Amino acid sequence: MKCAVLGDPIAHSLSPVLHRAGYAALDMDWTYRTKRVPAGGLAAFVTDRGPEWRGLSLTMPLKREAMPLADTVTDRARLAGAANTLVLDDGTIHADNTDIPGAAAAIRERYDGRILAATVLGGGATATSTALALCDLGATEIRFLVRSPDRAAETVAAVQRHPSAPTVIVGSLTDDFAEGDILVSTIPGEAQTPDLVSRCDDVEVTFEVLYHPWPTPLARAARGVLVSGLDLLVHQAAIQFSLFTGHEAPLAEMRVAGEAELGARNLL
């Protein structure tokens, strides 16, 4: 069976390394490759797939584009308004979002304490999925620090639709302080200025969704528990692996492969 990760850009993706490691660990004769698909190109790619295709992992800019192509959509993907996973099954397309449970699993692997309040830096698609994961973990207040509140409108709306109905606060990335039990950063490393880092040092848990460059300024300054972008990537990929193959993912082997690849790229 065939699977692939699609997006633009895509050459840097670690997903093939993780999924192929899973296939090797379970002695499965499956393939997984990268394919550059620019915005607007997903429908044509999916239409051209034959019955040997089983799963597609999606990254930017295709996650929202995937939604209208699916015959069925999970509640969590519908809530996020985006899908990072398409399962192809006998002509039927199933859409899911494994970023949400993947983020929750990544946090719980490193930290088992209570999470009631959180600060999320950024307001894009990754901020949406991680904030929804925090809601699933029990957060009742989520503070988004952003440069432009208008750009976070879709994210705020998605979080407010969560069944737990958390309190949502939108603040300034350039002025306000991080508050709560956990800080999640979804912003680029170059945006993590010394001033911003100094306003984010009073949290117990830091979740840096990037794995390159590593460590980011916020990851380097973390005083307590640190959850990494590799943690997130491995856990969401493991859930995808199970959706595609029907087998429990060999998480340990997938993580080792990811760490080895980052080491080979001199990114760890």
Q: Which CA distances in Å does 245 have to 48, 52, 86?
A: 21, 13, 13
Over the stretch 97-114, which tens digit does the pLDDT of each residue have? 999 999 999 999 999 999
Q: Which CA distances in Å does 212 have to 92, 188, 192, 206?
A: 35, 10, 14, 16
How far apart CA 130 and CA 133 sit, in angstroms, is 5
pLDDT of res. 212: 87
**Cβ neighbours of 263 (radius 10 Å):** 10
- Both 64 and 139 in one domain: the answer is no
- Both 149 and 218 in one domain: the answer is yes
In terms of Cβ atoms closer than 10 Å to its own Cβ (0-12, 13-18, 19+), residue 239 is: buried
How far apart CA 63 and CA 155 sit, in angstroms, is 14
HSE of 211, CA atoms in CB hemisphere, 13 A: 22
What's the domain range around 46? 2-97+231-264
pLDDT of res. 266: 76
Evaluate whether 136 touches 108 at the Cβ level (below 8 Å).
Answer: no
Over the stretch 80-91, which tens digit does the pLDDT of each residue have? 999 999 999 989
Rounded mean pLDDT, 245-252: 98
pLDDT at 267 over 80: no
- Both 92 and 36 in one domain: the answer is yes
Q: If we measure between CA atoms, which residue out of 32, 71, 62, 19 comes closest to residue 44?
A: 62
Over the stretch 128-180, which tens digit does the pLDDT of each residue have? 999 999 999 999 999 999 999 998 999 999 999 999 999 999 999 999 999 99
Evaluate whether 133 touches 158 at the Cβ level (below 8 Å).
Answer: no
DSSP assignment of 125-160, as one string?
HHHHHHHHHHHHTT--EEEEEES-GGGGHHHHHHHH
Give residue for tokens 């239409």.
47
- Both 113 and 92 in one domain: the answer is no
- Both 169 and 250 in one domain: the answer is no
- Both 219 and 111 in one domain: the answer is yes
Whether 63 sits among the annotated catalytic residues: the reply is: yes
pLDDT of res. 102: 99
Confidence of residue 243 (pLDDT cuts 50, 70, 90): very high
- Both 63 and 114 in one domain: the answer is no
- Both 113 and 202 in one domain: the answer is yes
pLDDT at 268 over 70: no
Confidence of residue 265 (pLDDT cuts 50, 70, 90): confident
pLDDT of res. 34: 98
Q: Which CA distances in Å does 123 have to 32, 75, 119, 247?
A: 31, 21, 11, 34
CATH number assigned to the domain comprising residue 85: 3.40.50.10860
- Both 54 and 156 in one domain: the answer is no
- Both 107 and 219 in one domain: the answer is yes
Confidence of residue 255 (pLDDT cuts 50, 70, 90): very high
How far apart CA 53 and CA 123 sit, in angstroms, is 33
CATH number assigned to the domain comprising residue 207: 3.40.50.720
Q: Out of 20, 54, 63, 94, which one is annotated catalytic?
A: 63
- Both 23 and 38 in one domain: the answer is yes
- Both 190 and 127 in one domain: the answer is yes
The strand pair at 2-7 and 53-58 is best described as parallel
* Structural domains in the chain (count): 2
Mean of the per-residue pLDDT values for the chain?
96
Percent pLDDT > 70 in the chain is 99
Percent pLDDT > 90 in the chain is 94
